[in-house]
């Protein structure tokens, strides 16, 4: 297995959690180390919504490549219109049915988002409740901290109390000026209230003892100085009380135009990199029409097919996991052929951020 080179943790990772949580993490690591997909995923992204109230990456200064939605707009231009961003909300009945399948096959971890802002789903608190009642060791969410909190200020406290285990706020800034430039359309004060109310709910003993709250940062030229100087960590960890922080370097999809960069990127070869993701995680789109063996955007070639009834055929999540497209992608990593031309190669992996190693460039502002 190779680690994702684009992702790093600032300071310490969260302290040890419950035995069942640690057991699931061991299986997560084992799948990657042994490149063993077994016959079901460890983790499933259930895309509760594909809508967002922000427009990160849409301004002159912060060009395409920043956001999955915008990345998918790019994919659309490459001719994958049917397989890219269609706005919508997951039907609660579909969510319940998929969640039940996940529980029955032994999935340990659920994430309630892929593209978009999950807190905009009107049933999001109930979604977390249902997952907690079914006993998943990990119930995760990435959020912009605005979304549903614009109209329901205590939403993130409610999510903590419903039993979320990993609540990850995409913050990207240590002050309002940088925030407004990078998180276009976001409201800094709402974000601060959301983080504070989640941290306080957890401190009151609401929710599960496995709950951890993270501040996530995509490092760009706008916030690199805040990250590199330690100001970002001092603000979110020391002042706002989050448990941990992650940094990802901003990568631009192939062909996207941009005026700046905050890292140099080196392409890795298959001899150097085997991706662990197709052996342990998958994504299901909000409409149940598409499944993917990783979270890096999708093309016709890696779609495992729908998990909703089509022409009286209902493919299960397990069927998609063992589909030929998923298996082919796993083979390409197990056999280290993904970087080849032709049948054994996987162009999506060649173009993916995860097969690139960034070296951050120091930026002084
Ligand atoms: S909050 Fe997330 S999904 Fe929404 S525009 Fe920003 S990066 Fe994209
Ligand atoms: S596209 Fe390929 S390299 Fe990227 S995350 Fe998916 S499987 Fe891994």
Query: Nearest ligand to the C-alpha of residue 143?
Result: 1
Judge residue 114's burial from the number of C-beta atoms within 10 Å of its C-beta, 0-12 exposed, 13-18 middle, 19 or more buried.
buried
* Nearest CA, atom 3, ligand 1: 116
Query: For the segment 106-156, what is each residue's pLDDT rounded down to a tens digit?
Result: 999 999 999 889 999 999 999 999 999 999 999 999 999 999 999 999 999
Work out which ligand 2 atom sits closest to the CA atom of 329.
7
Work out which ligand 1 atom sits closest to the CA atom of 69.
8
Residue 65's pLDDT is: 52
Q: Regarding the domain delimited by 7-360, which CATH topology (the fold level of the hierarchy) does it fall under?
A: TIM Barrel (3.20.20)
Count of CA atoms in the C-beta half-sphere (13 A) of 151: 7
Query: For the segment 232-243, what is each residue's pLDDT rounded down to a tens digit?
Result: 999 999 999 999
Query: Nearest ligand to the C-alpha of residue 186?
Result: 1
Contact (CB, 8 A) for 134 and 99: yes
Residue 21 Cα to ligand 1 midpoint, Å, equals 28
Binding pocket residue ranges, ligand 2, CB within 6 Å = 275, 277-278, 294, 296, 329, 348-349, 352, 354-355
Residue 363's pLDDT is: 80
Query: Nearest ligand to the C-alpha of residue 47?
Result: 1
Tell whether the model's pLDDT for residue 102 goes beyond 70.
yes
What tokens appear for 90 in the block? 């997951």
Residue 51 Cα to ligand 2 midpoint, Å, equals 24
Average pLDDT, the chain: 89
Binding pocket residue ranges, ligand 1, CB within 6 Å = 52, 54-56, 67, 69, 115-117, 144
Query: For the segment 39-57, what is each residue's pLDDT rounded down to a tens digit?
Result: 999 999 999 998 888 888 6
**Distance, CA of 136 to chain centre:** 18
Residue 72's pLDDT is: 56
More confident residue, 301 or 107: 107
Residue 365 and residue 355: Cα distance in Å, rounded?
29
Residue 63's pLDDT is: 45
Tell whether the model's pLDDT for residue 62 goes beyond 70.
no
Query: For the segment 217-232, what is each residue's pLDDT rounded down to a tens digit?
Result: 988 888 999 999 999 9
Residue 1 Cα to ligand 2 midpoint, Å, equals 12
Residue 182's pLDDT is: 86
Residue 265 and residue 249: Cα distance in Å, rounded?
10
Domain ranges of the chain: 7-360
Tell whether the model's pLDDT for residue 214 goes beyond 80.
yes
């Amino acid at each position: 297995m190779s680690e994702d080179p684009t992702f790093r943790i600032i300071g310490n990772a969260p302290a040890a959690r419950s035995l069942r949580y640690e057991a699931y993490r061991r299986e997560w690591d084992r799948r990657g180390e042994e490149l063993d997909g077994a016959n079901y995923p460890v983790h499933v992204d259930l895309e509760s919504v594909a809508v967002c109230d922000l427009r990160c990456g849409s301004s002159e200064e912060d060009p395409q490549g920043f956001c999955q939605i915008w990345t998918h707009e790019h994919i659309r231009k490459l001719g994958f219109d049917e397989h890219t961003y269609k706005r919508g909300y997951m039907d609660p009945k579909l969510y319940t049915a998929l969640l039940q399948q996940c529980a029955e096959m032994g999935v340990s971890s659920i994430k309630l988002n892929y593209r978009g802002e999950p807190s905009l789903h009107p049933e999001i608190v109930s979604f977390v409740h249902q997952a907690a009642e079914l006993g998943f060791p990990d119930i995760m969410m990435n959020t912009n901290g605005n979304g549903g909190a614009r109209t329901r200020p205590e939403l993130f406290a409610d999510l903590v109390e419903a039993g979320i285990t990993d609540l990850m706020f995409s913050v990207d800034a240590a002050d309002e000026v940088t925030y407004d430039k990078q998180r276009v359309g976001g409201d800094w004060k709402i974000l601060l209230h959301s983080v504070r109310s989640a941290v306080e709910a957890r401190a009151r003993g609401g929710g599960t003892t496995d709950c951890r709250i993270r501040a996530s940062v995509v490092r760009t030229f706008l916030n690199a100085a805040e990250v590199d100087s330690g100001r970002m960590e001092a603000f979110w960890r020391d002042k706002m009380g989050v448990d941990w922080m992650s940094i990802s370097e901003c990568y631009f999809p192939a062909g996207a135009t941009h005026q700046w960069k905050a890292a140099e990127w080196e392409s890795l070869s298959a001899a150097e990199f085997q991706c662990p993701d197709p052996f342990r995680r998958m994504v299901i789109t909000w409409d149940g029409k598409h499944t993917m063996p990783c979270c890096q955007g999708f093309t016709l070639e890696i779609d495992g097919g729908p998990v909703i009834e089509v022409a009286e055929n209902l493919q299960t999540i397990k069927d998609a996991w063992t589909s030929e497209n998923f298996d082919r992608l796993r083979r390409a990593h197990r056999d280290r052929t993904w970087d080849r031309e032709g049948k054994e190669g996987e162009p999506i992996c060649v173009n993916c951020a995860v097969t690139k190693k960034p070296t951050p460039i120091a930026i002084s502002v």
